[in-house]
Chains A and B, each alone.
Chain A
Amino acid sequence: MSIEVTNVNKAFGSFKALNHIDLKISTGELVALLGPSGSGKTTLLRIIAGLETADAGSIIFDGEDNTEKSTQDRKVGFVFQHYALFRHMTVFENIAFGLKVRPSKLRPSKEAINGKVRELLSLVKMEELAQRYPAQLSGGQRQRIALARALAVEPKVLLLDEPFGALDAKVRKDLRRWLRKLHDEYPITSVFVTHDQEEALDVADRIVILNQGKIEQMGTPEEVYDNPVNPFVYNFLGNVNLFHGRVHNGKVEIGSLKLDIPEHAKKDNKEIVSYSRPHDIEISVEDEGKGFIPAEILFIRALGPVVNLELKRTDSGDYLEAEISKERFKELELHEKQKVYLRPKDFRVFIPEDYVI
Chain B
Amino acid sequence: MAGNISAQYMITNDIKRQEPKTMQLILISVALIFFVLILIIPLVAVFVKAFEQGAGLYVFSISDPIALQAIKLTLITIGFAVVINTVFGLTVAWAVAKFKFKGKNLFVTFLDLPFAISPIIAGMIFILLFSTTHGLLAPLLNAFDLQVMFAPAGIILVTLFVTMPFIARELIPLMEAQGTVEEEAALSLGASGWKTFLLITLPNIKWALLYGVILTAARAAGEFGAVSVVSGHIRGLTNTLPLHVEILYNEYQFSAAFAVSSLLTIIAIINLVVKNIADWRIKKQENRS
Interface residues of A (CB under 8 A from B): 49-51, 70-72, 75-78, 80, 82, 84-88, 97-98, 101-102, 133-135, 149-150, 152-153
Q: Which residue of A lies closest to B204 (CB)?
A: A88
User: Which residues of the partner chain B approach A75 to less than 8 Å between Cβ atoms?
Assistant: 190
Binary interface encoding of chain B residues 139-182 relative to chain A, with 1 for a CB under 8 A from any of its CBs, else 0: 00000000000000000000000000000000000000000011
Known: A51-B184, A80-B184, A82-B181. A87 touches B189 (CB 8 A): no
- Which chain B residues lie closer than 8 Å to A71 at the CB level? 184, 187-188
Residues of A within 8 A of B203 (CB): 88
Output the nearest chain A residue to B183 by Cβ-Cβ distance: A84
Q: Which residues of A contact B191 (CB under 8 A)?
A: 72, 97-98, 101
Contact sample, A vs B, 17 pairs, CB 8 Å cutoff: A50-B188, A70-B187, A72-B191, A72-B192, A77-B188, A80-B185, A82-B181, A84-B184, A97-B186, A97-B189, A101-B189, A101-B191, A101-B199, A133-B288, A134-B289, A149-B189, A153-B190
Query: How far is it, in angstroms, between the C-alpha of A84 and the C-alpha of B289 when the chains are bound?
Result: 10
Contact: A101 with B288, CB < 8 Å? no
Partner of A135, one of B181, B192, B195, B289: B289
Residue B285, interface by CB 8 Å: yes
**Residue numbers in A under 8 Å from B192 (CB-CB):** 72, 101
Partner of B188, one of A76, A134, A135: A76
Q: What's the Cα separation between A70 and B184 when bound, in Å?
A: 11
B130 to chain A, nearest CB (A): 44
Residues from chain A with a CB closer than 8 A to the CB of B184 are 51, 71, 78, 80, 84
Expressed in whole angstroms, the minimum distance between the Cβ of A92 and any Cβ of chain B is 15
- Bound together, the chains give a CA A66 to CA B182 distance in angstroms of 23
Q: Could you say which residues of chain B place their CB within 8 Å of the CB of A101?
A: 186, 189-192, 195, 199
Give per-residue flags for B198-210: 1 if the beta carbon is below 8 A from chain A beta carbons, else 0.
0110011000000
Q: When chains A and B are docked, how far (Å) is the Cα of A87 from the Cα of B203?
A: 9
Task: Report the Cα distance A152→B189, complex, angstroms.
Answer: 9
Closest to B199 in A: A101
CA distance A76 to B189 in the complex (A): 8
Complex CA distance for A154 and B240, rounded to whole angstroms: 59
B190–A72 touching, CB < 8 Å: yes
- Tell whether, in the assembled complex, residue A86 and residue B195 are in contact, meaning their CB atoms are under 8 Å apart: no
Please measure, in the bound complex, the distance between the C-alpha atom of A203 and the C-alpha atom of B187, giving whole angstroms: 28
Q: Residues of B contacting A97 with CB < 8 Å? A: 186, 189, 191, 199
B288 & A78 in contact (Cβ 8 Å cutoff):
no
Chain B CB count within 10 A is highest, among A82, A98, A152, for: A98
For A78, list chain B residues within 8 Å (CB). Answer: 184-185, 188
Q: Which residues of A contact B204 (CB under 8 A)?
A: 87-88
List residues of chain B with CB within 8 A of the CB of A86: 182, 185-186, 200
Give bound CA distance, A76 to B185, whole Å.
11
Q: A78-B184, A97-B199, A101-B189 provided; 6 other pairs, C-beta below 8 A?
A: A51-B184, A70-B187, A71-B184, A87-B288, A98-B190, A101-B199
Q: Are B195 and A49 in contact (CB under 8 A)?
A: no
Closest beta carbon of chain B to A94's beta carbon, Å: 9
| B181 near A98: Cβ-Cβ < 8 Å | no
* B278 CB to nearest chain A CB (Å): 15
* B200 CB contacts on chain A under 8 angstroms: 86
Which B residues touch A49, using CB under 8 A?
A: 188
CA–CA, A49 and B190, complex, Å: 12
B4–chain A nearest beta-carbon distance, Å: 14
Q: Could you tell me if B199 and A87 are in contact, using CB atoms closer than 8 angstroms?
A: no
Task: Please encode chain B, from 117 to 146, with 1 for each CB lying within 8 Å of some chain A CB and 0 for all others.
Answer: 000000000000000000000000000000
Output the least CB separation between B242 and chain A (Å): 38
Which residues of A are found within 8 Å of B185, using beta-carbon distances?
A: 78, 80, 84-86, 149
Q: Which one of A71, A80, A85, A101 has the greatest number of beta carbons of chain B within 10 Å? A: A101
Which residue of chain A has its CB nearest to the CB of B200? A86
Residues A84 and B182 in contact in the complex (CB < 8 Å), given A101-B195, A101-B199, A135-B288: yes
Count chain A CB atoms within 10 A of each CB in B184, B189, B200, B203 and give the residue with the most: B189
Nearest A residue (CB) for B195: A101
A82 to chain B, nearest CB (A): 7
Taking a contact as CB atoms under 8 Å apart, the answer to whether B285 and A87 are in contact is yes
Complex Cα–Cα for A72 and B192 (A): 7
A1 CB to closest chain B CB (Å) equals: 16
Q: Determine which residue in A49, A78, A86 has the highest number of CB atoms from chain B within 10 A of its CB, and name it.
A: A86
Report the bound CA distance from A76 to B190 in whole Å.
Answer: 9
Q: Is there contact, CB below 8 Å, between B188 and A87?
A: no
Minimum CB–CB distance for A103 against chain B, Å: 8
